[in-house]
Amino acid sequence: MGVISLYLHLGFLYMFRKIRQALITRFIFKWFSSVLPPMSITERQAIAAGDTWQEANLFRGKPQWQKFLANPKPTLTPVELNFLNTEVEELCAMLNEWQITHQNYDVPTSVWNYLKTAGFFGLHVPKKYGGLEFSALASSTIVQKIATKSLSVAVTVMVPNSLGPAELILHYGTEQQKDLYLHKLAKGVEMPCFALTAPDAGSDATSITDEGVICYGEFNGQKNVLGMRLNWNKRYITLAPVATLIGLAVKLRDPDKILGVDVDLGITVILVPRDVPGIEIGKRHFPLNQAFLNGPIRGKDVFLPLDYIVGEREMIGSGWKMLVECLAAGRGISLPALSTAMGKHAFRCCGAYAKLRQQFNLSIGKFEGVASALANIGGLTYMLEATRVLTLSAIDQNFSPSVVTAISKYHMTEMARHIINDAMDIHGGRGIMLGPRNYLGRLYEGMPISITVEGANILTRCLMIFGQGAIRCHPYIRQEIEAASMQDKAQGLDMFDRLIWRHMWYSISNGVRLVWHSLTCAVFCEAVEDKSFWQIYYRRLSFMSIALASVSDVAMLILGGNLKRKENLSARLGDVLSYLYIASAVLKYDYDHGEPKEDRPFVRWCLDFCLHQIHHGFKYFFLNFPNQFIAKPLQWLVLPPWRNYPKPKDDLSIELSRIMMEPSELRERLTAYCVVSTDPQDAVGRIEAAWLKMQLAEPLLNKIDLAVKQGIIERTSNAYKKIKLALSNKIVTETEAEFLFAFEHMRLDAMQVDEFTQQELTGK
């Protein structure tokens, strides 16, 4: 009886599904297939690259805060810490950025040698191949620390450790290639570069016309060797001028069908030794006054056997997949490290400078306008550090989160751009006049480089974050696309039928949740179980996450493939996803440090800032959505008129600026692993030393200020005269006056800029 009932049940289900397919799903399937944007194989590979992580929960309207907070707190190992405190310190002590970028236009030979012998070119290479086998957190912190002393040297270290021959061989090379190259790359015996970009192929790197043709040729005196004849013209290649091993991306072709039936074999990465005939290399580009080596590289009829392909014959045509997979992790390490370095450096220097520099008899940091700029630097730096360590923790847990790293690359470089602009404004002319005393100019000049490389920013925001995010993070879309693209349409329909109904349920439940939480002002939204000071923010973010899930589904339903072309719309939804992630990073950082009271103004500033950006993203999405009949009610639910998310308030900004101008545990923790000198001969040390002295001088200066207010000392006197008058009026003692003279001397010295003769400038 039971068996019959089971069969009847299954039969009924089968019939029900068949009827459902015939009467409903078939038509949805047809419509879905017609609105799918055309997707090339390379686009499919890019979308498939990497994993998803916390961003998928945020995208689906279920942040799962408790699980998220349980992720391990990222920490450096004792060996990594030791390297930072010894080798990196030693390296930084050797660096003179002005000499490197203005006088030599190159990193000194002694520095090159030290980088090689100390293992800086093998940070990720396993120990068995002679590398240091450091975590992503360690390599990011190393690059970050170097960048606070010299951007050019940081880039020189960063490039061989990110997307380049070592990473490619490590992940896709044969055992023989690993044995042959990794040791030499880790020790700097081989200097790598990675050559993809060509004059006619930048952002759209898959359109490269550089070519390899399968043929027989002569190699090392041996005739009739099966290999490839390569022709290429690459530009903008970092380290090319000194490279001895080029990771070259070309399109491989087999017109004579020597390897099989296919003529176009696809993008393939080849290891090209510098000394094979036909290579033109050595000239330099000059990227915005930076001294790291970058230049063009060309090859004419270069012949190499097939075993020079990374991964040999098995990896022919897999070049693009290899690149996007490596980039999925790599772009979460290098440029975020440089961006955080800029933030930390600006935090320290601007906090100190805004206190030291006086106008209208006051430290400029006390003026509200300057305080706002200072607070931007402080708040954004807090977000940078939080996002950096969170993203690295994902990479170190062996995730390769492609959406999260795209978010990090885009938003962290943009935050650094804001920071460096504010830092320049705060410094006025002191930031503009280049020379050994200037500690901002080269960072400012280098900013557009971070914006452009590893996925230019406009493209990353408009195409990658939401475009890839929606497909990767959505629970059903990717599989539905796969079903619609199947050759066997009946099988595709069957798979689609199973997905689409679950998809509908997902959309309906998100819609219901959105209405409910909107009407109840998000008070029942997910927060954390433990009592957190930030419960209300957890709830607000949960609400925005539910809103994103619903709005994304509606946008995909209404616009279909057009959403990809409506770049501004998808960019705004990408902003919402990004700021949900960045706010999560801030909460996690605060949680990992025990929610210290001292951090509260910064955390609040960051969360207000993120919610404002989310609000802004939604607002302009609704405003520009083509179908206003749908946009208006959605807007009313997501952003009801009575709920506003303003920018951080002025009072909060002033509080941040005040904290930044004083010594604190927060300042030291947040700017850890910056090169900090107190040597008055050093560019940064000059400011730091004067600022430290000012902490001691302040009580005495306050006494003098009081005397000025009481009319005992003339207001218009300069600082030296005021000290003299204070001494003669017995307001300060002789020793105190001497201390104040010494401080004033240091303060004025810290305000000075460099001067050059024409001869010194031109070197003639």
Ligand X SMILES: Cc1cc2nc3c(=O)[nH]c(=O)nc-3n(C[C@H](O)[C@H](O)[C@H](O)COP(=O)(O)OP(=O)(O)OC[C@H]3O[C@@H](n4cnc5c(N)ncnc54)[C@H](O)[C@@H]3O)c2cc1C
**Residues lying near ligand X in the complex (CB under 6 A):** 194-197, 202-203, 236-238, 287, 294, 449, 452-453, 456, 458-459, 462-463, 567
- 453: its two tokens: 């490389």
* Nearest residue relative to ligand X (C-beta): 202
Comparing CB distances to ligand X, the nearer of 140 and 413 is: 413
Comparing CB distances to ligand X, the nearer of 194 and 353 is: 194
Least gap, CB of 462 to ligand X (angstroms): 4
Instruction: Please tell me the number of Cα atoms within 13 Å of 190 on its side-chain side.
Output: 23
Query: How many helices (H) does the chain have, and how many strands (E)?
Result: 35, 9
Q: Cβ(713)–Cβ(725) under 8 Å?
A: yes
Least gap, CB of 196 to ligand X (angstroms): 3
Least gap, CB of 240 to ligand X (angstroms): 7
- For 51, counting Cβ atoms within 10 Å of its Cβ (0-12 exposed, 13-18 middle, 19+ buried), the class is middle
Comparing CB distances to ligand X, the nearer of 74 and 319 is: 319
Task: For residues 123 and 550, give the distance between their C-alpha atoms in angstroms, rounded to a whole number.
Answer: 43
Q: Cβ(85)–Cβ(434) under 8 Å?
A: no
Least gap, CB of 194 to ligand X (angstroms): 5
Least gap, CB of 213 to ligand X (angstroms): 21
Comparing CB distances to ligand X, the nearer of 64 and 231 is: 231
Backbone angles phi, psi at 646, to 5 degrees: -75, 165
CA distances (Å), origin 367, targets 371, 375, 606, 626: 6, 12, 22, 44
Least gap, CB of 449 to ligand X (angstroms): 4
The residue assigned the tokens 């393939």 is 268
Comparing CB distances to ligand X, the nearer of 190 and 553 is: 190
521 sits in which H/E element? none
Least gap, CB of 163 to ligand X (angstroms): 8
Helix axes 41-48, 319-330, angle to 10 degrees: 30
Task: For residues 59 and 655, give the distance between their C-alpha atoms in angstroms, rounded to a whole number.
Answer: 33
Closest CA to 469 of 49, 5, 89: 49
CA distances (Å), origin 297, targets 6, 349, 437, 492: 70, 39, 36, 46
Comparing CB distances to ligand X, the nearer of 416 and 449 is: 449
Least gap, CB of 746 to ligand X (angstroms): 37
- 367: its two tokens: 């003026």
The answer to whether 598 is a known catalytic residue is: no
Backbone angles phi, psi at 276, to 5 degrees: -80, 150
Comparing CB distances to ligand X, the nearer of 342 and 587 is: 342
One-letter identity of residue 372: S
Q: Cβ(427)–Cβ(364) under 8 Å?
A: no
454, 526, 655, 688: the active-site residue: 454
Query: Under 8 Å CB-to-CB from 252, ≥6 apart: which residues?
Result: 211, 212, 213, 214, 228, 265, 266, 267, 268, 316, 317
Comparing CB distances to ligand X, the nearer of 180 and 459 is: 459
Q: Could you give the residue numbers annotated as active site?
A: 454
